[in-house]
């Protein structure tokens, strides 16, 4: 018999659904099920694996309802939505899908930065509204150049380094901050505050979770300044969203490009009303190629586990 797995989340390509369905007895649910759900309760005792997204994760309550759970596989990089200590205590394996999405996420970070500093959405609206044909002035758009500016990167892991390599090609100087020294100590700022003070643009690439929650607070935002730009492709929880909104509204921060939010998919109405913000729906890895590779790696982790083989990408 095929092992039974629970597949959580609604954004699954046909490729992923076909791959897991071929190898496993799959039960697809768009959200984390609750006790008392008759359909879930009927299968809970047979579930041996969970395939989930980095945003959705699993909850301690769900783990408690799955007595035969062997493995949790994340279709993504982030594992901050998982109770890692609990899973480790229970001997439940955890895997994710690093590397295969690094390039596409880094490309997207650059796209978001360029769209924000060059005011691409406003330019698009300017043309569509007929303002160009009407020869309306463009001076109010306040687009900024990149060359010669300093890009500060918070979190200098795989994605942060890939972003840095791309931005150097645009003539930007690179600084970064993370708690460990990282691969280029000479470019590391003494603190997060120092990085914000030294940077024209701050690109957030750190992991989510309790250690980074609210890390980008009012002090950091104000240090970036009224001509500064904040780009977030990390997790919405790393930013004090209320402080960010207030700073954008009153000019203490120049602009922001946001792919992630505190309470996804809900975006504050105040952000929707601002022209100095570019908003995208957590789409950094949303390419056909990246999603196929992530799906294949997620399935490979599950197959390896149930075949008794080493896991391709375990989370330590």
Rounded CA separation 109/147 (Å): 17
User: Is 264 assigned a catalytic role?
Assistant: yes
Q: Which of 79, 70, 84, 80 is nearest to 98 (CA)?
A: 79
Clarify whether 27 is annotated catalytic: no
- 282 is annotated as an active-site residue: yes
Q: Where are the alpha helices (DSSP H) in 140-229?
A: 158-168, 192-198, 218-224
Which of these, 229, 172, 183, lies nearest to 204 by C-alpha position?
A: 229
Residues whose CB falls within 8 Å of the CB of residue 284, separated by 6 or more in sequence, listed in order: 101, 104, 105, 108, 109, 233, 259
* Rounded Cα–Cα distance for residues 294 and 285 (Å): 9
Nearest to 11 by CA among 291, 209, 311, 234: 291
Closest by Cα among 77, 74, 80, 121 to 103: 77
C-alpha distances (whole Å) from 308 to each of 13, 89, 226, 243, 311 are 27, 20, 56, 49, 9
- Burial (CB count within 10 angstroms: exposed 0-12, middle 13-18, buried 19+), residue 44: buried
**Contact, 121 vs 173, CB < 8 A?**
no
Q: Out of 175, 282, 291, 305, which one is annotated catalytic?
A: 282
Which secondary-structure segment (H or E) carries 152?
strand 150-154
* DSSP element (H, E) containing 298: helix 288-306
Catalytic residue, from 188, 235, 291, 305: name it.
235
Active site residues: 235, 264, 282
């Amino acid at each position: 018999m095929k092992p039974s797995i629970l597949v959580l989340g609604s954004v699954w390509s046909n490729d992923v659904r076909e791959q897991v369905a071929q190898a496993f007895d799959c039960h697809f649910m768009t959200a984390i099920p609750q006790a008392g759900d008759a359909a879930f309760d009927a299968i809970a005792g047979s579930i041996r694996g969970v395939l989930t997204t980095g945003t959705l994760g699993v909850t301690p309550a769900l783990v408690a309802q799955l007595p035969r759970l062997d493995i949790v596989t994340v279709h993504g990089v982030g594992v901050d939505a998982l109770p890692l200590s609990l899973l480790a205590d229970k001997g439940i394996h955890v895997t994710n899908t690093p590397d295969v999405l690094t390039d596409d996420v880094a490309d997207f970070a650059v796209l978001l930065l360029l769209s924000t500093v060059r005011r691409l959405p406003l330019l698009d609206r300017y043309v569509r509204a007929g303002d160009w044909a009407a020869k309306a002035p463009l001076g109010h758009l306040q687009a900024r150049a990149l060359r010669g500016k300093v890009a500060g990167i918070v979190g200098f892991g795989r994605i942060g380094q890939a972003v840095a390599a791309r931005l150097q090609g645009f003539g930007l100087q690179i600084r970064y901050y993370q708690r460990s020294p990282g691969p280029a100590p000479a470019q590391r700022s003494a603190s997060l505050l120092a990085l914000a003070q030294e940077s024209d643009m701050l690109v957030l690439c750190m992991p989510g979770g309790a250690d980074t929650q609210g890390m980008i607070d009012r002090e950091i935002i104000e240090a970036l300044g009224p001509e500064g730009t904040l780009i977030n492709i990390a997790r919405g929880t790393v930013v004090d969203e209320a402080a960010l909104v207030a700073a954008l509204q009153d000019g203490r921060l120049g602009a922001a490009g946001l792919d992630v939010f505190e309470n996804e998919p809900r975006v504050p109405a105040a952000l929707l009303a601002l022209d100095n913000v570019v908003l995208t729906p957590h789409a950094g890895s949303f390419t056909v190629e990246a999603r196929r590779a992530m799906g294949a790696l997620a399935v490979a982790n599950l197959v390896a586990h149930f075949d008794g083989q080493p896991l391709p990408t375990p989370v330590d």
